[in-house]
């Protein structure tokens, strides 16, 4: 989900990316099998929109994606690594932010609450590193090549 929001921002711009992030969480957070919690939903919406916003900012700042997705190309792997790092750091910010907000909402002490979320955070951030590493540049190139966005 995070990867798709980021790619939306990268291709369509920060505003569109943030909108995709907010809308995605409005759907998922409303019909969440673990229950609905409004402050948590707001926090996750804001957190998720960061992926889109940052995707747009990265695109605007001239951060290029490797044109070739051939595995023999060094540039392809360099881009993948950079995207993996971006995915990891954005997920870190997202986890940190949402943990703080849910900790405040449920009236828990913040430090133990954040530490309690560490096992999930590790899985979330490391998995996002790999999702961004393997998926980001391929997805962006694939969408660009379809030509549906007119770019």
- Interacting residues with another protein (CB under 8 A): 81-82, 85, 88-89, 92, 112, 115-116, 118-119, 121-122, 125-126, 129
CB of 82 to another protein, least distance (A): 6
CB of 27 to another protein, least distance (A): 29
CB of 47 to another protein, least distance (A): 17
Summary count for the chain: helices (H), strands (E): 6, 0
Lookup: tokens for 92:
């870190």
CB-wise, 119 or 150, nearer to another protein?
119
CB of 15 to another protein, least distance (A): 26
CB-wise, 12 or 140, nearer to another protein?
140
Exposed (0-12), middle (13-18) or buried (19+): which is 137, by Cβ within 10 Å?
Answer: buried
Phi, psi for 49 (deg, rounded to 5): -65, -25
CB-wise, 53 or 121, nearer to another protein?
121
CB-wise, 28 or 92, nearer to another protein?
92
7: left (phi over 0), alpha (psi -120 to 50) or beta: alpha
CB of 150 to another protein, least distance (A): 30
20-59 core/surface letters (b: 16 or more CB in 10 A; e: else): bbbebbeeebeeeeeeeeeebbebbbbbbbbbbbbbbebb
CB-wise, 10 or 133, nearer to another protein?
133
């Amino acid at each position: 989900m995070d990867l798709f929001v980021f790619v939306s921002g990268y291709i369509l711009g920060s505003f569109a990316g943030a909108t995709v992030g907010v809308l995605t969480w409005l759907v998922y957070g409303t019909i969440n099998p673990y229950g609905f919690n409004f402050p948590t939903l707001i926090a996750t919406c804001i957190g998720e929109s960061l992926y889109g916003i940052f995707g747009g900012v990265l695109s605007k700042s001239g951060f290029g994606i490797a044109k070739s997705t051939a595995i023999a190309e060094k540039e392809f792997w360099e881009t993948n690594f950079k995207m993996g790092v971006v995915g990891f750091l954005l997920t870190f910010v997202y986890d940190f932010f949402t943990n703080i907000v849910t900790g405040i909402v449920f009236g828990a002490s913040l430090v133990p609450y954040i530490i309690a979320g560490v096992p999930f955070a590790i899985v979330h951030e490391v998995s996002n590193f790999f999702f961004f590493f393997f998926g980001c540049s391929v997805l962006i190139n694939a969408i660009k090549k379809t030509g549906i966005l007119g770019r």
